[in-house]
């Protein structure tokens, strides 16, 4: 049985001191261990950005890919080998900007993935431009007069497209983050975990001190994650002075892989090997005579 | 009487069943032991417009279409107006009684054969079966026994049930009998079965590619529909359950290529099929496969561009784009099969090359080849020659025996690193789109490491040259004229060479299927004795001609280019030599 330490590797992160990514990283390692996973069973898929360096700092299989595209890469991996626990580690730009349609499609397919979004509401690695979750009026280097774009509401979006596991966590509440991630990693189907992550360098307005008095745990508020109407109401009304964290919705529905007979009947694709002989080829050829 | 050597065209609107009746008639003729070549012209619309299927029939093997038409089956007036001009003197237009043949056509010694095709369809089946009536009427006029038509109806409508079959057979029978009773007056052609001929396969280039891919172990395809590549995806999708394939329609081409990269990384034999516009969207994913050394197979069925271009037409205009697409430099292998046999071989070779060199393999086909069907001997596709080579893939037993830490991007003399699949406890590793070290970590940006990894990747291209097949020569070793072509121009050029030599000229052909890494030495050898080189290709700017010169210094003496969206024919080429 692996412990969180088994997911350590010798590479040291290059994140800024105080970055919310450290807690997410620690949370991921603890949750992987709590979920009973071994490093070789895990595939971490990153996009591009600070969030997406997490696979490099973690002892597990990894794929650091393209900005905006970790979700389809992760789903390709899952379709080829559904024995792997496939986790996307990406940012709000990757997931709610460039890759938004991939997020929607993974959720509506109920692909067997966990999608962790390090949501810092800013483009950090490119040094401070507004992101899809920045508020209206947000001043950055590319919105000097304030952003005109209304922010994406990830929770409402995921609920609207049929997400079977929709959650928010806060990198300033590690114990709760570990709990939410453990539930996400063991969820059968597509899990979105939107993680509020302070960027201490480029977005000091949304700091630990900003979030800490505002967040409250849904589990302690008695929210029932099978109650869609309640989840929808929370996603619409609670943002600003009160920010719910926890699992808004969790329901069990067949995953994409389970609904695909080639995989449900035959096991992981990489372990299936079809061998052709003359007789089988002759039958195939019949289709063209 | 002209026996078994003619071109039949069935023309009408989209929605009149031209594709199915054309394919059905072609199948009937192939089963009658005749050689056939079928190509289609269709428009990017669901109903209306002007479409046709053209079936060339021959007693001997044929490799492409002709411009001329001998028998025109017109299901609408537009077909008579447009395609009547292609009908040769002595040919015939078979049409419904409600349509009229212009006097100018009749003056050219073209025979009008009006038949009550629509009435028969209406009475014996339903109005949509006029295409069946037309195909059967041709059989009746040319003496092809009815059983060939009936057999194909049974096969083609099997899924639609006994009633639809019975109606179509009744329509066909009535039209056939009427044509026989009318007699062959005005139709100077007869179709005589060759009972001694071996059974034949009838398939198009896309199907042949799929066949090769499936036999070669392809078990994953992700795609977004785009003409003229869609039939690859649809064939794989239709057969996915039977052959253990995961076929996924993605939300867009970017997702499609990324899914295939992910699947290939995890160990599937994965491909993606698209056309030029979709490929444009896939370019970043292509570079990702190059950098992460992922064995990706990507098929581009070219159509005329730029942008939307001519969706249903053909062109060889993406060659240089595919060769250089992506930022940065990485090895890629490019195949441009030119015949059904080469499409089949490209199907399995692409996966072997991709896995052997752990890099993307691009297969270039085009709208013409995607849709054009040929009959070939049942054993013409070399099943025994199909191999599955997964390259330096470490088995679970290899990984169990590992004593050193596994290095995904280990520097080796060939540039090829032993490849593990994710999931084994001894080989926990990462694929990385950033420049990376042997152990995949990427943040030190060391200049020496950059050079070492770049050199390692590019060395694979030198190694791959050993697997690149030489250009294929056809015709006499010494000739006054050498026609050089690539991809689907192969068949029409071959027939051009045959015609020239039959007419007392001296010509040969050099055909390129494997285009990258460019086979420099074998090209020089193939062309060293050429007296006059003419490059024949379907684009406006001479992309292959440029490549040939850039890679070998060989300058062509002339060229024939076609970029009107239509395929080459011997007539087109001969008129421009």
Mark yes or no for CB contact B383/A55 under 8 Å: no
pLDDT at A144 over 90: yes
Mind listing the pLDDT tens digit for each residue in B333-348? 999 999 999 999 999 9
Lowest mean pLDDT among B19-28, B187-196, B410-419, B475-484: B19-28
Q: Which residues of chain B make contact with A94, given a CB cutoff of 8 A?
A: none
In angstroms, rounded to a whole number, what is the distance separating the alpha carbons of residues B320 and A91?
36
**With contact defined as beta carbons under 8 Å apart, do A92 and B459 qualify?**
no
Answer whether the bond into residue B517 is a cis peptide, omega within 30°. yes
Mean pLDDT of the A180-197 span: 98
If you measure CA to CA, which chain A residue comes closest to B284?
A: A66
Contact A76 B263 (CB under 8 A): yes
Q: Is B501 exposed, middle or buried (0-12, 13-18, 19+ CB in 10 A)?
A: middle
Q: What residue has token string 């999608």?
A: A115
Q: Say what percent of chain B tops pLDDT 70.
A: 100
Whether residue A213 has pLDDT greater than 90: yes
Q: Which stretches of A9-144 are assigned E, i.e. beta strand?
A: 42-46, 61-64, 85-91, 113-119
Question: In 3D, which of B568, B512, B522, B575 has the Cα closest to residue B545?
Answer: B512
Separation in Å, CA of B1 to nearest CA in chain A: 29
Residues of B in contact with A281 (CB under 8 A): 215, 383
Instruction: Say what the pLDDT of residue B550 is.
Output: 98
pLDDT band at B419 (very low <50, low <70, confident <90, very high): very high
Contact between B262 and A270 using a beta-carbon 8 Å cutoff:
no
Residue A289: per-residue pLDDT: 86
Res B44 pLDDT > 90: no
Instruction: Specify whether the backbone of A8 is left (phi greater than 0), alpha (psi in -120 to 50) or beta.
Output: beta
**What is the C-alpha R_g of chain A?**
20
Most B-contacting residue of A60, A61, A106 (CB-CB within 10 A), to test interface:
A61
Residues of chain A with Cβ-Cβ distance to B432 below 8 Å are 56, 62-64
Confidence (pLDDT) at A273? 81
Rg, C-alpha atoms of chain B: 26
Flag whether pLDDT at B294 surpasses 90.
Answer: yes
Residues in chain A: 289
Tell me the chain B residues in contact with residue A61 when contact means C-beta distances shorter than 8 Å.
422-423, 428-430
Query: Cβ separation of A40 and B288 shorter than 8 Å?
Result: no
- pLDDT average, residue stretch B556-573: 98
More reliable by pLDDT, A100 or B24: A100
Residue A145 to residue B88: CA distance in whole angstroms: 72
Give the integer Cα–Cα distance in Å for A79 and A67.
Answer: 21
Whether A40 and B425 lie within 8 Å, measured CB to CB: yes
pLDDT (tens digit per residue) in A228-283 = 999 999 999 999 899 999 999 999 999 999 999 999 999 999 999 888 999 999 99
A50-70 pLDDT per residue, tens: 999 999 999 999 999 999 999
Residue among B217, B259, B285 minimizing CB distance to A75: B259
Residue B80 has pLDDT above 90, yes or no: yes
**Whole-number mean pLDDT of chain B?**
96
Q: Is the pLDDT assigned to residue B96 strictly greater than 90?
A: yes
B-chain CB neighbours of A47 within 8 Å are none
* CB B574 within 8 Å of CB B351: no
Interchain pair B422, A77: CB under 8 A: yes
Residue A223 makes CB contacts below 8 A (sequence gap 6+) with A230, A231, A234, A244, A246, A247, A248
Place B60 in a pLDDT band, splitting at 50, 70 and 90. very high
* pLDDT of res. A2: 96
Sign of CA dihedral A91, A96, A98, A104: positive
Are A288 and B430 an interchain contact pair (Cβ–Cβ within 8 Å)? no
Coil, helix or strand at residue A281: helix
Residue B489 CA to residue B309 CA, distance in Å, equals 20
Q: Do A77 and B378 count as a contact with CB atoms less than 8 A apart?
A: no
Chain B residues close to A83, C-beta within 8 Å = 423
Closest residue to B258, CB basis, from A62, A69, A276: A69
Distance CA A127, CA A60 (A): 29
Measured from the Cβ of residue A275, the count of other Cβ atoms closer than 10 Å reads 7
What is residue B443's predicted lDDT score, i.e. its pLDDT? 84
Closest CA to B339 of B145, B492, B500: B492
Q: Where are the beta strands (DSSP E) in B15-86?
A: 35-41, 48-58, 69-74
Predicted pLDDT of residue B59: 93
3-state secondary structure of B122: helix
Average pLDDT of the segment spanning A156-168: 98
Find the CB nearest A79 among B246, B256, B425: B246
Q: Which two tokens stand for residue A62?
A: 């990894």
Contact B284 A69 (CB under 8 A): yes
Running DSSP on this structure, what letter comes out for residue B355?
H
The pLDDT of residue B406: 97
For B472-487, what is the mean pLDDT?
98
The Cα A6–Cα B426 span in angstroms is: 14
Here the tokens at position A253 are: 């529905």
Element (H, E) at A160: helix A154-160
What is the C-alpha to C-alpha distance for residues B450 and B409, in angstroms, rounded to an integer? 12
HEC profile of B485-511: EEHHHHHHHHHHHHHHHHCCCCEEEEE
pTM of the predicted protein model: 0.97
Tabulate helix, strand, coil % of chain A (nearest 5): 40, 20, 40
| Cβ atoms B132, B23 nearer than 8 A | no
Buried b (16+ CB within 10 A) or exposed e, B31-48: bbbbbbbbbbbbeeeeee
Q: Is the reported ipTM for this assembly greater than 0.90?
A: yes
The percent of residues in chain B predicted with pLDDT above 90, rounded, is 93
CB contact set of A167 (below 8 Å; sequence gap of 6+): A180, A183, A184, A191, A192, A193, A194, A246, A247, A248, A250
pLDDT of residue B21: 84
Q: Are A16 and A200 in contact (CB under 8 A)?
A: yes
Q: Is the pLDDT of residue B271 over 90?
A: yes
Is the predicted pLDDT of residue B371 greater than 90, yes or no?
Answer: yes
Q: Does the pLDDT value for residue B20 go beyond 90?
A: no
Q: Please write the tens of the pLDDT for every residue from B3-16.
A: 999 999 999 988 88
CA atoms within 13 A on the CB side of A14: 12
Structure tokens at B140: 């009746």
Residue A176: its pLDDT value, please?
Answer: 98
Give dist(CA B340, CA B378) in Å, integer.
12
B396 vs B44: which has the higher pLDDT? B396
Query: Do B219 and A269 count as a contact with CB atoms less than 8 A apart?
Result: yes
Tell whether domain A4-288 is in CATH 1.20.1740.10. Answer: no
Residue B539, classed as helix, strand or coil, is: coil
Given the DSSP bridges, would you call strands B472-474 and B507-512 parallel, antiparallel or unpaired?
antiparallel
Smallest CA–CA separation between A139 and chain B, in Å?
30
Which tokens hold the place of B32?
């009658």
Asked if the Cβ–Cβ distance from B423 to A39 is below 8 Å, we say no
Instruction: Find the residue in B nearest to A256 (Cα).
Output: B248
Secondary structure letter of residue A99 according to DSSP: T
**Considering Cα of B17, then B18, then B21, then B27, what sign does the dihedral take?**
negative
Of B222, B244, B441, the CB nearest to A272: B244
What lies within 8 Å, CB to CB, of B319 at 6+ separation is B334, B336, B364, B486, B515, B539, B543, B544, B547
- pLDDT per position as a tens digit, B148-185: 999 999 998 988 999 999 999 999 999 999 999 998 88
- CA dist A166 and B3 (Å) reads 71
Domain ranges across chain A: 4-288
């Amino acid at each position: 049985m692996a412990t969180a330490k088994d997911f350590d590797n010798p590479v040291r992160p290059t994140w800024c001191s105080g970055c919310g990514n450290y807690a997410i990283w620690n949370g991921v390692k603890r949750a992987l261990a709590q979920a009973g996973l071994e490093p070789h069973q895990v595939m971490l898929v990153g996009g591009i950005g600070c969030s997406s360096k997490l696979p490099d700092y973690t002892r597990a299989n990894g794929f650091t890919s393209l900005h905006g595209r970790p979700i389809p890469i992760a789903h390709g991996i899952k379709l080829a080998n559904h024995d792997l626990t496939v986790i996307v580690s990406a940012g709000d730009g990757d997931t709610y900007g460039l890759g938004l349609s991939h997020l929607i499609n993974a959720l509506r397919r109920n692909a067997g993935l966990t999608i962790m979004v390090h949501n810092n509401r800013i483009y950090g690695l490119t040094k401070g431009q507004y992101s899809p979750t920045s508020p209206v009026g947000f001043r950055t280097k590319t919105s000097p007069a304030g952003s005109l774009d209304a922010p994406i509401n990830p929770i409402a979006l995921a609920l609207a497209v049929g997400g079977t596991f929709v959650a928010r966590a806060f990198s300033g509440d590690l114990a709760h983050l570990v709990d939410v991630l453990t539930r996400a990693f063991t969820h059968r189907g597509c899990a979105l975990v939107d993680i509020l992550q302070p960027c201490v360098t480029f977005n000091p307005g949304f700091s630990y001190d900003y979030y800490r008095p505002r967040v409250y745990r849904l589990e302690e508020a008695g929210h029932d994650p099978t109650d869609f109407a309640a989840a929808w109401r929370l996603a619409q009304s609670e943002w600003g002075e009160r920010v719910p964290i926890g699992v808004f919705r969790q329901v069990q529905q067949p995953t994409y892989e389970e609904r695909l007979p080639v995989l449900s009947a035959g096991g992981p694709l990489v372990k299936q090997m079809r061998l052709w002989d003359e007789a089988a080829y002759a039958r195939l050829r019949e289709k063209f005579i | 009487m002209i026996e078994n050597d003619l071109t039949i065209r069935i023309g009408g609107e989209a929605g009149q069943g031209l594709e199915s009746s054309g394919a059905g008639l072609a199948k009937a003729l192939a089963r009658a032991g005749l050689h056939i070549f079928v190509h289609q012209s269709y428009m990017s619309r669901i109903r209306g417009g002007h479409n046709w299927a053209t079936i060339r029939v021959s007693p001997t093997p044929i490799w492409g279409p002709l411009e001329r038409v001998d028998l025109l089956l017109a299901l609408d007036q537009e077909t008579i107006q447009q395609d009547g001009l292609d009908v040769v003197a002595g040919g015939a237009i078979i049409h419904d009684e409600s349509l009229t043949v212009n006097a100018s056509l009749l003056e050219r010694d073209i025979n009008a054969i009006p038949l009550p095709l629509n009435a028969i369809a209406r009475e014996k089946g339903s109005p949509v079966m006029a295409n069946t009536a037309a195909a059967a009427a041709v059989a009746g006029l040319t003496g092809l026994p009815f059983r060939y038509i009936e057999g194909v109806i049974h096969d083609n409508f099997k899924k639609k049930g006994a009633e639809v079959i019975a109606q179509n057979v009744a329509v066909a029978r009535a039209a056939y009998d009427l044509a026989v009773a009318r007699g062959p007056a005005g139709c100077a052609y007869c179709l005589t079965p060759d009972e001694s001929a071996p059974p034949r396969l009838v398939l198009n280039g896309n199907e042949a590619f799929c066949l090769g891919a499936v036999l070669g172990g392809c078990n994953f395809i992700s795609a977004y529909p785009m003409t003229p590549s869609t039939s690859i995806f649809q064939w794989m999708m239709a057969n996915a359950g039977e052959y253990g394939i995961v076929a996924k329609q993605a939300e867009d081409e970017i997702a499609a290529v990324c899914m295939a990269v992910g699947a290939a990384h995890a160990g599937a034999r994965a491909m993606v099929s698209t056309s030029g516009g979709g490929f444009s969207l896939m370019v970043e994913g292509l570079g990702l496969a190059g950098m992460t050394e992922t064995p990706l197979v990507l098929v581009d069925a070219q159509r005329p561009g730029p942008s939307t271009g001519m969706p249903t037409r053909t062109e060889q205009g993406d060659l240089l784009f595919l060769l250089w697409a992506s930022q940065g430099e990485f090895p890629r292998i490019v195949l441009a099969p030119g015949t059904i046999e080469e499409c089949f071989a490209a199907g399995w070779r692409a996966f072997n090359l991709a896995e052997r060199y752990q890099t993307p393999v691009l297969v270039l086909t085009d709208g013409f080849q995607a849709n054009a069907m040929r009959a070939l001997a049942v054993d013409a596709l070399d099943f025994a020659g199909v191999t599955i080579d997964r390259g330096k893939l470490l088995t679970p037993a290899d990984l169990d025996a590992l004593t050193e830490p596994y290095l995904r991007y280990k520097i080796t003399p060939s540039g090829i690193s032993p490849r593990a699949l994710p999931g084994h406890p001894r080989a926990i590793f990462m694929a990385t789109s950033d420049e990376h070290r042997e152990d995949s970590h990427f943040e030190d940006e060391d200049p020496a490491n950059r050079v070492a990894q770049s050199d390692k990747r590019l060395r694979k291209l030198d190694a791959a040259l050993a697997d690149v097949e030489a250009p294929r020569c056809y015709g006499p070793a010494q000739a006054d004229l050498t026609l050089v072509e690539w991809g689907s121009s192969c068949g029409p050029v071959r027939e051009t060479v045959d015609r020239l030599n039959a007419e007392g000229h001296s010509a040969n052909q050099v055909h390129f299927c494997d285009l990258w890494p460019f086979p420099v030495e074998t090209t020089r050898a193939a062309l060293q004795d050429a007296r006059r080189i003419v490059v024949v290709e379907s684009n406006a700017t001479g992309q292959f001609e440029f490549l040939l010169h850039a890679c070998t210094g060989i300058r062509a003496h002339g060229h024939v280019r076609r970029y009107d969206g239509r395929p080459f024919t011997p007539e087109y080429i001969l008129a421009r030599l």
